[in-house]
Amino acid sequence: MRMSRRVVFAILSCLFLFSLPIGSLLAQDDQPDDPLPEPTQNYAFIFDASGSMRAGLAGRTRLAVAQDVMVQLSAELAPNVNASLWVYGHRLPQDDVAASCRDIEEVIPLSPVDVAEFERVVRNIQAIGYTPITDSLAQAAASLPIDGDNTIILISDGEETCAGDPCAMARELAARDANLLVNTIGFVVNEFTRQQLECIAEVTGGVYLDAPGPDELTDALREVTQPPGIVRIVDQDGAFLPDVPFSVDHTAGGRVGNFSGSATLPAGDYVVNVMTDPAMTQTVTVTPNETVSVPVQVVQLGVIALVNADGERINDQAYNVTSATGEFFGQRTGAFTLPAGDYDVEVRVRVGIERTDRALMERVTVRPDEVTEVLVDFPSGMIRIVDDAGEPITGFVTSIIRQDTGEFLYSNRNAEFVVLPGEYDVIIYDVFTPLNVSLTVEADGVSDIVIETRRGDIVPLDEDGQPTEATFQISDAETGALLHFDRRDVFAVPPGTYNISIREFGGYDTQVTVEAGGRVTVPVVMEGGIIQPVDGDDNPIAATLEIIDTTTETVLHYTLSDEFAVPPGTYTVTIRTQGFIASSTTEVTIASGETVQIPILEGFIVPVDADGNPIEATLQITDLSAGQDVHFERAAEFAVPPGTYDVTPYDGERYTVQIEIAADEIVEIEIR
């Protein structure tokens, strides 16, 4: 059973300690050092399918490399593992930012791993949209069982691009569930993305691993899916010291995180830096389901706490602590347990993710078994998110922007936000209809934003008239605002009229009016027709089609399939090569029960050796009309729609040749 980590989290924290009453600072651990049992381990993988995953890597795309590694990993997971797979950015292009930022889907529910199904799903992922990391973390965490042995594993090649704050979200998730780990893997990332992913892992007690290439990605995924072990700090007699702060680094360099007393870590070699006086460093090997103890001299501990002018504890203000010798002990909120000694305490009131405009610095002496209070008396006010009864309500992603600087202060799901006096813009994203509010906060004042909580329900029905789960895209008929694009059995909405696009077999569009407290049912299946992609011999094949209703201009389908169900009507059908490049567009009219075939015309580029024999090779193939790569991978044959292309071999001599290719034509490229 995984040991619970007593931690409180802060954005960009470097040290996270949960303070116990002074009397329990030296409490002993009565748990033996026996091997940990092997409970069911729940892994929620979050897979980045944003547009940047189409970039080249090792002669292929990042997406293709990551797909191979994920498929390989699925076959290696232990028998006691349940796994789910979440994907973002895989269905909707970046044309509609709001819609693409809601494009998050659990494509494999949490269950024992079916390797064949895992491969089928992973191979069909396409890289199209934006990077909504914050909401992906929230949805994946919500899907995991309460009190389970839960780990989220996020693989991303880029930073959040949907106005969220993933580090703040990770901190909130960790505060709800001390046993939740979020491990992050940076797949060919820049420094900003690396810092963001490191923060997500750090505030949950997880680990960040860098993966600049295919081999490193394989190693990283193997490392974070091994059963964890535990590092714990003990005295010379082996008694557990739960409040001694320490940091953990990878032996190859790079901070894993900061902990207090114990840390749950993936198997591997680590450097443990114990923040005692004097400091102590030890290299340890963590093995699955085992506990490794690090003995230290008896440590005398005290506590730092912030208080206001009335002597009341301040638990929501971040502050930094540095020893008198210059060693940074960390940033945190609430009480801070640490070894006795002299420290500099820096309190900053934040007016942006990286900016501050008020700061307090004070040298304090922490004495054993005592609480040292630091007076903080900045003028401040509060913005609250409340329901129609005036009660604070959590759960809505709220961004707060200071008007004079234009910078984000917060982006999380809290109900209360402490800010300096001033003018602010507040955006609440995931209410029924997104809110944009401008307000002024006075010193010691409270500014409330009321969220409409009255609701009605839209309920999908199956062919037997029974409630069922279905994927609905629901938009406000008046404003066009997107309220839902997800799969569930009940869709809650405020009173109003809505356009609904049913994203199931037999899908169609409809409009409904919902009253407060009302229930509107919508059949999932409606008799319609089929749009079917076919090859040159009229055989059905899988292809990516974008299908738009010409009357409503609604996108009914944008996915890979071998048939697309639509209601009777007229549609614009665009063939999307590689899932995103428009190779041809046609208009079709379809009647009930009719099947309309869409020919997928292709030619073939074949690499050959000097004797004209077909061989496998890595080719970069660029569609000159679109200005984008349609292939950058290794294969023996490359299918492309008719057109003009630049082809560059990456085996042997590298050169570029321009070719024109017709349907069913074969063009050979010599690998010199």
What are the pLDDT digits (tens) for 277-309? 667 889 999 988 889 999 988 677 889 998 888
- CATH homologous superfamily of 381-450 equals Immunoglobulins (2.60.40.10)
Question: What is the pLDDT at residue 635?
Answer: 81
How many CA atoms does the CB half-sphere of 595 hold within 13 Å?
9
Question: What is the pLDDT at residue 578?
Answer: 60
Q: Write out residues in the chain with pLDDT < 50, as ranges.
A: 1-37, 351-356, 432
What are the pLDDT digits (tens) for 52-96? 898 888 778 899 999 999 999 999 888 889 999 999 999 888 877
**What type of residue is 549?**
D
Nearest residue to 427 (alpha-carbon basis) of 445, 401, 459: 401
Question: What is the pLDDT at residue 14?
Answer: 28
Query: Which regions of the chain carry the CATH code 2.60.40.10?
Result: 381-450, 529-599
Question: What is the pLDDT at residue 24?
Answer: 34
Question: What is the pLDDT at residue 277?
Answer: 63
Has domain 529-599 been given CATH number 3.40.640.10? no
Q: What is the pTM of this model?
A: 0.47
Question: What is the pLDDT at residue 168?
Answer: 84
Nearest residue to 373 (alpha-carbon basis) of 364, 383, 384: 364
Query: Which regions of the chain carry the CATH code 3.40.50.410?
Result: 39-226
Overall CATH class of domain 603-670 = mainly beta
What phi-psi label fits residue 528: left (phi over 0), alpha (psi between -120 and 50 degrees) or beta?
beta
Query: Which regions of the chain carry the CATH code 2.60.40.1120?
Result: 456-523, 603-670
Question: What is the pLDDT at residue 32?
Answer: 39
Check: CB of residue 661 under 8 Å from CB of residue 630.
no
Question: What is the pLDDT at residue 358?
Answer: 54
The DSSP line for 69-84 is HHHHHHTTS-TTEEEE
Residue the block writes with tokens 């020893």 = 323
Rg (CA), the chain: 28
**What is the percent of the chain where pLDDT is above 90?**
25
Give the separation between CA 474 and CA 517, rounded to whole angstroms: 18
Has domain 39-226 been given CATH number 3.40.630.30? no
Handedness of CA 336, 266, 89, 59 (dihedral sign): positive
3-state SS of the chain: helix, strand, coil percent to 5?
10, 45, 40
Question: What is the pLDDT at residue 13?
Answer: 25
Which one is the CATH code of 456-523: 3.30.1300.10, 3.30.230.10, 3.40.50.720, 2.60.40.1120? 2.60.40.1120
What are the pLDDT digits (tens) for 566-578? 878 899 998 876 6
Residue the block writes with tokens 């349907």 = 663
Quote the Cα angle for 51-588-499, to 5°.
Answer: 65
Give the separation between CA 563 and CA 356, rounded to whole angstroms: 55
